[in-house]
Amino acid sequence: MGAAHSKRKAGRETYHRYWSDKAMRAPKGLRWTKPSVIILALETEAVKRGAISVAPLLTYAVDCRDTVFIKPLKGGQRYVNVKPKGDRGNVFLEYAWSVYKKTGRALSEVDIMARHTEGKVHSWYDSVSIFRTKRNVEVVLAVKDKEAVKKFFKKNKKRAESESERSKRIGAEHRAKEEKAANYHREQAVAINAEIALIKMFKDMLSK
């Protein structure tokens, strides 16, 4: 009958979990927490609260850390060219970590998948996505007379343009004066050098 009808075929929940993990990637501007970071924090908490209190989530975090992902091979690519990646976070671990930080309850993998079936993971993911993509519009000025404000900014704009033109004109005049002075000094230097050369020439003629 083929692999599709094999007894080894994964159940619907497995496929649902796999495709949900693929679809619910970290929103733009946000990265899932690495399992190793969560493990370190939970181990620290275990010293304070006891190992039993964090054991369910710690076990799941260790499984996520030790899971290695290998990208599918492309045409002509060999496995030696594919670098496996581990210690990767996912939406389920991030959800459980969020619940732990908020309530102090360590969810097991079974608890997480049960909540996923209930749609709680989806709801949490949507709230995180909206929070990350929302743009805050801040009102910086509230006025009663809008026309007066428009006139004020229009007047300031004209004044700024006038000041800019005046500054440009003054700058141009200053540069023209500097150029004129430089030309004058250059001409004077040429005349002095010519006079010195002429005097030297007469001295040389007299000495002969």
Structural tokens at position 59: 């076990």
- Is 50 exceeded by the pLDDT of residue 170? yes
Q: d(Cα 98, Cα 30) in Å, to the nearest integer?
A: 14
Q: d(Cα 11, Cα 171) in Å, to the nearest integer?
A: 80
- The set of residues, in sequence order, having a beta carbon less than 8 Å from that of 37 and lying 6+ positions away, is none
> Whole-structure pTM over 0.85, yes or no?
no
- For residue 12, what is the DSSP state? H
Instruction: Report which of 5, 13, 11 is spatially closest to residue 114, judged by C-alpha positions.
Output: 13
Kindly tell me the burial class for residue 91, based on how many C-beta atoms sit within 10 Å of its own C-beta (0-12, 13-18, 19 or more): buried
pLDDT at 208: 64
Which residues are paired to 85 by β-bridges? Answer: 69
- For residue 69, what is the DSSP state? B
Pick the more confident residue, 194 or 110: 110
pLDDT at 137: 47
Q: d(Cα 35, Cα 30) in Å, to the nearest integer?
A: 15
Q: Say if CB 106 and CB 100 are below 8 A apart.
A: yes
